[in-house]
Amino acid sequence: MATTMRGLTQFIADIRGARVRELEEKRINKEMANIRKKFKDGNLDGYQKKKYVAKIIFTYILGYKVDVGHMEAVNLISSPKYSEKQIGYLAVTLLMHENSDFLRLVVNSIRKDLHGNNEIDNCLALHAIANVGGSEMAEALAEDVHRLLISPTSESFVKKKAALTLLRLYRKHPDVIPAAEWALRIISLMDDEDLGVVICVTTLVMALAQDNLDAYSVSYTKAVDRLNRLVIEHEYSATYAYYRVPSPWLQVKLLRLLQYYPPSEDPAIRSVLHQVLQTIMNNSAEISRNVQHNNAQHAVLFEAIGLAIHLDTNSPLVSTAAVLLARFISSRETNVRYLGLDTMAHLAARAESLEPVKKHQSTIILSLRDKDISVRRRALDLLYSMCDVDNSELIVGELLRYLRVADYALREEMVLKIAILTEKYATSYKWYVDTILQLISAAGDHVGEEVWYRVVQIVTNTEDLQEYAAKVVFEYLKAPTAHESLVKVGGYILGEYGHLIANEPGYSPLEQFHILHSKSQFCMAATRSLLLSTYIKWVNVFPEIKPQLVLIFERYRHVLDSELQQRACEFYALAQRPEEDELLQNVCEEMPPFPPRSSTLLSRLNKKQGDTEDKRTWIHGGKDANVDRELTRRKTLIQTNGSAASHTATGATSTQDVMGSLAGLDLGRTDGPSSSEQPNLAVGPNIDRWYEKLTSNSDGVLFEDVQVQIGIKSRYQGHIGQLAIYIGNKVPTPLTSFITAVHIDDPEALSVTFAKIPPNVIAPRTQTQQLLHVECKKAFSTPPILTVSFLAGSHQTTSIRLPIVLTKFLDHVKLGQADFFERWKLIGGAPRESQSIFPITLNSAGQLDLPKFRQAVTGHRFNLLDGVDPNPNNLVGAGVLHTSVEGKVGCLLRLEPNKEAKLCRLTVRSTSEDVAKEAQKLLQKSLQGGT
DSSP per residue, 194-212: -HHHHHHHHHHHHHHHHH-
- CB crowding 737-763: b at 16 or more within 10 Å, else e: bbbbbbbbeeeebbbbbbbebbebbbe
152: helix, coil or strand?
coil
Type and span of the H or E element at 917: helix 913-928
Angle between helix 103-115 and helix 82-95 axes, rounded to 10 deg? 140
> Do residues 428 and 454 touch, judged by C-beta distance below 8 A?
no
Radius of gyration of the chain (CA): 38
Strand partners, 762: 735
Tell me which amino acid residue 286 is: E
Which region, left, alpha or beta, applies to residue 178 given φ > 0 means left and ψ of -120 to 50 means alpha? beta
Q: Whole-angstrom Cα distance, residue 561 to residue 556?
A: 9
Strand partners, 799: 787
Q: Helices in 133-284 by DSSP H: which ranges?
A: 135-150, 156-172, 183-187, 195-211, 218-227, 248-258, 267-283
> Do residues 439 and 419 touch, judged by C-beta distance below 8 A?
yes
Taking Cα atoms as reference points, which of 736, 744, 730, 756 lies closest to residue 781?
Answer: 744
Compute the C-alpha angle 234/238/243, nearest 5°.
90
DSSP per residue, 763-811: -TT-EEEEEEEEEE-S---S--EEEEEEEESEEEEEEEE----GGGGEE
> Do residues 345 and 322 touch, judged by C-beta distance below 8 A?
no
259: helix, coil or strand?
coil
Q: Whole-angstrom Cα distance, residue 83 to residue 715?
A: 67
φ/ψ of residue 925, rounded to 5: -60, -45
Type and span of the H or E element at 67: none
> Do residues 584 and 539 touch, judged by C-beta distance below 8 A?
yes
φ/ψ of residue 704, rounded to 5: -160, 135
887 class by beta-carbon count within 10 Å (0-12 exposed, 13-18 middle, 19+ buried): exposed
State the binding site: 6-7, 38, 47, 51-55
Q: Whole-angstrom Cα distance, residue 803 to residue 759?
A: 22
Question: Which residues, including other chains, have CB under 8 Å from residue 487's CB and lie 6 or more apart?
Answer: 477, 516, 519, 520, 523, 527, 531
Q: Whole-angstrom Cα distance, residue 207 to residue 230?
A: 22
Q: Whole-angstrom Cα distance, residue 448 to residue 442?
A: 13
The tally of CA atoms less than 13 A away on the side-chain side of residue 886 is 19
DSSP letter (8 states) at residue 407? -
Taking Cα atoms as reference points, which of 428, 483, 419 lies closest to residue 453?
Answer: 419
905: helix, coil or strand?
strand
Q: Whole-angstrom Cα distance, residue 227 to residue 233?
A: 9
Which region, left, alpha or beta, applies to residue 446 given φ > 0 means left and ψ of -120 to 50 means alpha? alpha
Tell me which amino acid residue 787 is: T
Q: Whole-angstrom Cα distance, residue 691 to residue 711?
A: 11
Task: Compute how many other C-beta atoms are within 10 angstroms of the C-beta atom of residue 686.
Answer: 11
Q: Whole-angstrom Cα distance, residue 155 to residue 148?
A: 9
